[in-house]
Amino acid sequence: MKDFTINTAIEYDLPTPFQGRHLIAGEWVASAETFDRVSPSLGKVVSVSAKGDEAVTERAVTAARQTFDTGVWSRASGKERATILLKVADLIEANVERIAVQETLESGKPISQSRSEVGGAADLWRYAASLARTTSGDSHNTLGEDMLGVVVKDPIGVVSIITPWNFPFWILSQKLPFALAAGCTVVVKPSEVTPSSTVMMGELLIEAGLPAGVCNIVLGHGQPVGSRLSTHKDVDMVTFTGSTAVGKLITQGSSHTLKKVALELGGKNPQVICPDADLDSAADAVTFGVYFNVGQCCNSSSRIIVHESIAKDFVARVVALSRKVKFGDPLDPETQVGAIVTSEHNVKIDCYVQDAVADGATLALGGDALAVTGLSDQFYQPTVITDVTPDMAIAREEVFGPVLVVLTYKTMDEAIALVNDSDYGLSAGIWSENVHTCLEFARRAEAGTVWTNTWMDGFPELAFGGVKQSGQGREIGSYGFEEFLEVKSLVMRIGRSRPPWVQSDA
């Protein structure tokens, strides 16, 4: 344990457990049954939430459907929608600390990251507000002197938003404001592991003046809530972030109604390290990429592909930096890596590591649970694994933990082949001082996002999403906004010059 930097438990006055309820048609609704969330770092109950069933889910969908059909939001002006979204952004910034603390208690992520996630989400709402006022279509004035064609964009309708536990507030803000900007009404189901920040968002929406029934929230589990939201005939679209396995189930369930499905799923994201790279910057970015959010991130840089001539030196740099990363109490502002979300997931991570070692891989660092004085046992050591072959499960499957695997290459063709030899295609990166190398890689890498000489920089203007089994559709940016719109063509004849089809008797 002396090889790692560990922040032990600090004293903190915990808030009383958050009481979460459903939000339906503008009213807070309780359920006969509830479920608790135990903090992964403290081992204490930090929230008690209403447990939704099919009846509550039905009520929420009905509220969203009826509200959409009234036009109170779907036919509101872009200015009206944008005004509400901008108010929400201001309210988010005014409530960062309260929301961030609850998110840290439920997820185990460091409070510094929770604050950044919640505060940064306001920018997504402001960008979505700008899109609400700038939606445009096309006009076609070259169809003949008696014809005019106009292409308009309508809100798709009722949207089910199903969000994960790892970035509950941020990912909600990648979806919800864009759906609202388009004029949709929604039903949100957050993960049962981290439900509270979504309820807090509901409070802000009410305070901002969003009409009742536009945003509805149902708490609970995938069965029955998520399943019903994926299959209901009155839901026009499902947008889901989570595992690829669940994404496939949602696609299957939605097929009976042919509703639109947008999926942001898993990743096994590579970074290629070239011999001419700035190795210090690359090593720091790799270290950040694998430990950020405890490695529980779809964009985690969980595998690196290093040129064999620099592999030994580069791994040594990453190991040295890994020993300095501050693991421990998530409520300590100095902590960089917190707790694993559940004890079961901690075991799953360790199984991947031990299986790799049994198959011939080498532990350069870590590879075991991490003891943090005064806290639970849901922590895992910073782990770096070398001598990994491309066929090993740890090199191909999403571990979702603070575990980095190292592969090597000789030629750029070999590196790109290793990058693309994956079921996933969410993101990829390359480190080189040669712009031609970077551009070639960017063109050939099969990924929705390619970073060059950086990692995990993102902006509301840029679309996010993957290819292959990393998902379908895009989030944020103008492309993410377009996901919530339907294209409609208006074909208009000018005057009364349409020639008759049925000839009258002479």
Catalytic residue positions?
A: 264, 298
Kindly give, in sequence order, each residue whose CB lies less than 8 Å from that of residue 444, ignoring residues fewer than 6 positions away.
Answer: 416, 420
- Report the distance separating Cα 374 and Cα 422, nearest Å: 40
Query: What letter does residue 142 receive in the DSSP assignment?
Result: -
> Between vectors from CA 349 to CA 240 and to CA 395, what angle results, nearest 5°?
80
Is there a cis peptide before residue 224, judged by omega within 30 degrees of 0? yes
Residue type at 232 in one-letter notation: H
Q: Which candidate, 257, 335, 250, 341, places its Cα nearest to that of 295?
A: 341
Please report the DSSP string for 414-483 in residue order: HHHHHHHSSSEESEEEEE-S-HHHHHHHHHH--SSEEEESSSS---TTS-B--EETTEES-BSHHHHHHT
- Report the distance separating Cα 214 and Cα 59, nearest Å: 13
- Report the distance separating Cα 215 and Cα 154, nearest Å: 18
Please report the DSSP string for 217-252 in residue order: E--S-IIIIIHHHHH-TT--EEEEES-HHHHHHHHH
DSSP 3-state percent helix, strand, coil across the chain (nearest 5)? 40, 25, 40
**Which phi and psi (to 5°) does residue 24 adopt?**
-135, 125
- Report the distance separating Cα 40 and Cα 218, nearest Å: 23
Pairing of strands 303-307, 467-468: unpaired
268: three-class secondary structure by DSSP: coil
Q: Which residues pair with 271 in a beta bridge?
A: 304, 429
Q: Which residues pair with 486 in a beta bridge?
A: 154
- Report the distance separating Cα 347 and Cα 380, nearest Å: 9
218 contacts 60 by C-beta, under 8 angstroms: yes
